Amino acid sequence: MYLSKKKKVFIGLLLWRLISVFVVQTTHVPDEYWQSLEVAHRLAFGYGYLTWEWIEKIRNYMYPFLISVIYQLLAFVTLDHVIILTTLPRILQAIISAYGEYKFYEWTKNKWTLYSLCINWYWYYCATHSYCYGMLVISPWEFFRVNVLYKIGDFVIHQRGSLDVMNILHNEIVNADNTTNILFLTPCHATPLYSHLHVNVPIKILTCEPNFEGDINYVDEADMFFANPTQWLDHNYNNNNSIVLPDYIILFDNIVPKIGEFLKHYQIVSQIFYAHFPQSNYGKYIYVYKHV
């Protein structure tokens, strides 16, 4: 079958991006889930978590709506499994990225410009995530360091734990007799949520909404917890008889020594690698604790 040059270019771009869906196994930024998949999951299945931007109606629903249509179709044919729910949106993004690059090629009419775009490893890493940012690399060493050395780790290791922990938690919950609630003691939005869990169970996360009321002494919940974890737990759990202790707690290893007393009724069920050089309030490992 004869294919024109333009069709060959588009098919080549599409295959290149589709391959990256399966090569890139890590997460980039929280917004790729919280501003797309989490919203789409709530639209399609009626449960999930919306961040303050969506409650305040300052975000556009178009992109999450497209993903929610895919979710609804999957549910209709009873194929709404987590692996499919998390992979198909990336395939959609691969198609969108490939089409955008093809139109860019049509506009520039320069194959070397297109080639430069395709071999940019940072773009290869970002292009199939459901929310992307750009980066300017200016020196040859910076190009090599960022686009080669770092990206090898970024593709398969760095911050992959935030995805792996959701798979482990999903398996724990679906195989448990009863799960009342889950507590995430991580920086806000450190992991995906219902889009990767796909189980309608109450979940508590540390929030980080802006100071809507203009309170000069305002501290968001996440900062409040990390400033004094024991005090936060005493206020919300230990001294609150109306609150049921969570069945599962997810947290980074750097917090464990600070709340040892609270964790004495829990046991570790999983330890997942997160990052070699974690940022503030993050750790090298993510722990999953289960109430005993």
Same domain for 128 and 165? no
Cα–Cα distance for residue pair 284/292, rounded to 1 Å: 25
Q: Are residues 134 and 196 in the same domain?
A: no
Residue type, 237: Y
For residues 76 and 175, membership in a common domain is answered with: no
Rounded to two decimals, the pTM is 0.81
Q: Of 97, 121, 151, which residue constitutes the final position of a domain?
A: 151
Same domain, 14 and 144: yes
Residues 115 and 199 grouped into a single domain: no
Annotate 91-137 with DSSP letters as a single string.
HHHHHHHHHHHHHHHHHH--HHHHHHHHT-HHHHHHTTSSS------
pLDDT in the model for residue 132: 43
User: What is the spatial distance between Cα 72 and Cα 84, in angstroms, rounded to a whole number?
Assistant: 12
Tell me, yes or no, whether 124 and 178 share the same domain. no
**Residues 142 and 96 both lie in one domain:** yes
Ordered mean pLDDT values, 10 residues apiece, the chain (292 residues): 81 93 84 92 95 89 93 96 94 91 88 86 83 44 49 58 90 82 94 93 93 90 95 90 89 94 94 86 94 90
Q: Tell me the C-alpha distance between 239 and 236, whole Å.
A: 7
Distance CA 244, CA 229 (A): 18
Q: How many domains does the chain have?
A: 2
CA 69 to chain centre: 20
Question: Given this model, what pLDDT does residue 24 score?
Answer: 86
Q: Residues 207, 104: one domain?
A: no
Residue 205, CA atoms < 13 Å, CB-side half-sphere: 18
Q: Which residue, of 118, 151, 184, is where some domain finishes?
A: 151
Q: Which of 151, 173, 205 is the last residue of a domain?
A: 151
Residue 155's pLDDT is 53
Range of the domain at 85: 5-151
In this structure, the answer to whether residues 182 and 276 fall within a common structural domain is yes
